[in-house]
Structure 1
Amino acid sequence: MFENLLTHTDNRIHHIIINRAGKMNALNRNTLAELHTAVYDALNSNQVGGIIITGAGEKAFVAGADIAEFASFDSTKGEQLARHGHRTVFNMIENSSKPIIAAINGFALGGGLELALACHIRVASNNAKMGLPEVSLGLIPGYGGTQRLTRLVGRGRALEMILTGDMISAEDAHAYGLVNHVTAPEELLPAAEAIMNRILSRAPLALTAAIEAVNASTQNNIDGFETEIEKFARSFDTEDFKEGVAAFLEKRKPNFQGK
């Protein structure tokens, strides 16, 4: 189905593997278009509860964008490139109604780190290297890196990473709060799947509401507290709430239906 992606679903977890290992899984125009389709389809599938995104091979998650594609761009084309990427891929992932985990295996640079930043949770192998090296090309990050990195690690750390363009280790990324967990390479996907399975044992509608409420905290034109109150209140009208309370009182595991 896809030229640059491998996808499969196991036990409600949809795996999206960026499959350009010969190009260090760099994001070209076609790969971004396929990512949009793959994520969109997963979000609209009743068989999918959550998504894990990773890269093919052991060297790279995504080692950046395909620089040759935009080497001749002017400011108009550059703006179109950034706006289209934000709308169709990066913002869609961040605002996904289903949880998305990035399993970072190797280099996550430039657009690759920005892809991981858009995901809700990040797990990295201990050989991963992360950075936003755009200033070395005379650019700045254009797929949300200046905003999402700052939210995660703070202004000082973000500016140091962006202004130097230097890579950081997985251990430093964990210390900065950039990644949630660091594992051995062979444990990366099992660790991501274990986290996702814990998430998917919870009420689906509550997961969506929680993502929306947390995302509202970063948007200047939205009162995050009001969003939380609204989502909290609506939860009381769901069948999942009734099932969750009944299961708690009856001391059994809940059987959520996403209703």
Structure 2
Amino acid sequence: MTDDATARVLDRFLAELRALAPVAVWAHGSLAGGDYQEGRSDLDMIAVLRGPVPLATVRRLARLHRGLRDDEPLARKLHCSYLTPDTLAGAERAHLTWAHNGLMRRPVTPVTRRELHAFGLVRHGVPPGDLLPPLPDDELHAFVVRDQKEFWRPAVRKARLWKQDVWVDLGMVTFARATVTLRDGRLISKREALDLLPELGAPLDVVEDVRRRRYGDPAPPTAEWTMRRSELTRGYLGPAMDGLVAAYGVR
């Protein structure tokens, strides 16, 4: 279920994208998984174009996204990767993507691919299972371990990052979700991750800080709390990630 502003953005996006005759358009992430919060969650989309995607189409997509962004503030949270039927396979392949108000190339990760198969929301065309190759469990497992070890663990050492809300929020939630995926082989929502974090030994004040920012109406943090929160988060995540990687890094 989506709210009015979200529905308006998605309806216009799909209406304009139809001029390119896409094979399919899918939603994933919170939007598809039932934990979407308007104005806080990203609008995560995948579009499969008939392909190939020439420069004229790239420019057309850029104009589409910029026009939508300029007219609809919520469209700044819309991210979409553009695939074609012959580029669907291979999680390491980089795809044309609109994200963070610009075009780039980045992969559709194993986590996203598993989300699409598990609960991807069809906005247009055929379902993910008709086009997207199945993702082996070993590939998902290896990606989650690598993400914790090679991206998040080095980031914990950079104190300046953890003064920002987004790093605290994503770092804590991603760790809890990674734990469940490696332990149980399943994906969980951000709400479920927040509920689990106290059981994983996370500092309760930080967990509630993240929860208020996602589901409540938080006041801006004080400078003192920002520093304390950074210390608590880094002090918890560093050893916790090390333990997770040590437990599940070798199969």
Q: Quick check: TM above 0.5?
A: no
Q: What TM-score results when the alignment is normalised by the length of structure 1?
A: 0.28
Task: Tell me which protein shows more helix as a share of its residues.
Answer: 2
TM-score in terms of structure 2 length:
0.28
